[in-house]
Amino acid sequence: MLFAIFANIAHPVTPKFIKLLGLSDGMFGYAYAGMAMTNFLFSPMWAKLAERYGSIKITLTTLFFYAVSQLMFGLSTTTFSIMFARLFGGFFIGGLFVSQLLYIVNNAKPEEKGQAMVNNATMQIVFGTFGYLLGGLIGDFNILYAFYFQVAGLLLTALYVYLFIKDGPNTNEVKQFKLKDINPFRSLQTKEVSSNKVLRNIFIISIMASTATVLYDQTFNYYMADFFNFPPSVNGTVKAITGVLAFITNSTLTLWIIKKTNLIKSLGAIFITAASLILVLINVEVPLIFLGINILYFAIHAAYTPVIQNLVTSTAKDQAAAVGTFNSLKSLGMILGALVAGSAYAIGKKLPFIISIIIFIAASIFSYSLIRVKKEAISE
């Protein structure tokens, strides 16, 4: 997963980058929210384009322009230039996420889709953490070099995709779509979403989980640089360790959850465990213990993405539309989480963590209530 590696190179250096520019503490959240906003707005459009032209063509296009956006980000010196680069990058990163999921949906055998979803989520986490590690090590030496390395890596990934990966037979080549079909808000008003209570509630849970996840992640990254004054390499090393543990989790626990358990109950258990670990973490000020609890959190939390993806694809009839809507709503949660992270951190350094605990608990309660909703839907 070359993309997973290079897409994460800049993350460990971003907090230091913002502090060196002398921008406000809340900027880390606002910049991420800008990227998430355009991701949210245009994910349905990318889903339709990938459905018509093929996932690989969309992957190539969005990889190139996302690389351009990261170069713009690395060369930014003002609030305006950073926000513009993040908005521009979010427009194309949505296409990358959607095209990857649709490639699996369209090319994997029905009985293998669950396994393929888990493998994809696992590889994203594992290789993404190695990207964090590389970025952190390069950032200790020179922050700008981390951005240059990322851009070169993304372009190399695009070349690899062009040379070695091909789409399967595309049966939607002549399919047309209207502007109303790519409206992210209209995607919530489709016949299937309005009539399928289970799918609708899964989407609500995905927004809550995404909000809490980004709220925690963004705060943690900045908190390490601000409160503990850790260099980028520590951030990268922690992510690398969590990547290994996430691989173990998704290769064992997550597969067992998908094959042997009630996914809805398991999802609720994952969320309540995440909330409990964060509650312990915010009461710890010893750096090594703090990092250890965080590593455990990420290992458990890694199971949530493939579980909820399986719930979406197994519940929806129109899987392409569902994947586009899921990614769009996940981005909506990213916007909310990043905005709350930036604003809450300016009030109190631990406040974003507390809010994420509350949202994870709410997501857990909502997940368990979905059991009743599903029983009612079956009986109707």
Q: Across 75-89, 173-187, 308-322, which has the greatest mean pLDDT?
A: 75-89
pTM: 0.76
pLDDT of residue 377: 63
Helix (H) or strand (E) holding 19: helix 14-20
Burial annotation 276-298 (CB, 10 A radius, 16+ → b, else e): ebbbebbeeeeeeebbebbbbbb
Question: Is the confidence at residue 193, as pLDDT, over 90?
Answer: no
| Cα 57 from Cα 162, distance rounded (Å) | 9
Across the range 108-113, mean pLDDT stands at 75
Burial class (CB in 10 A: 0-12, 13-18, 19+), 178: exposed
pLDDT digits (tens, 9 = 90+) for 243-290: 788 778 878 888 888 888 888 899 999 999 999 999 999 888 888 888
Show the domains of the chain with their CATH numbers: 2-164+183-379 (1.20.1250.20)
Going by pLDDT thresholds of 50, 70 and 90, the confidence category of residue 332 is confident
pLDDT digits (tens, 9 = 90+) for 295-318: 889 888 888 888 888 888 787 777
pLDDT digits (tens, 9 = 90+) for 48-65: 888 888 899 999 999 999
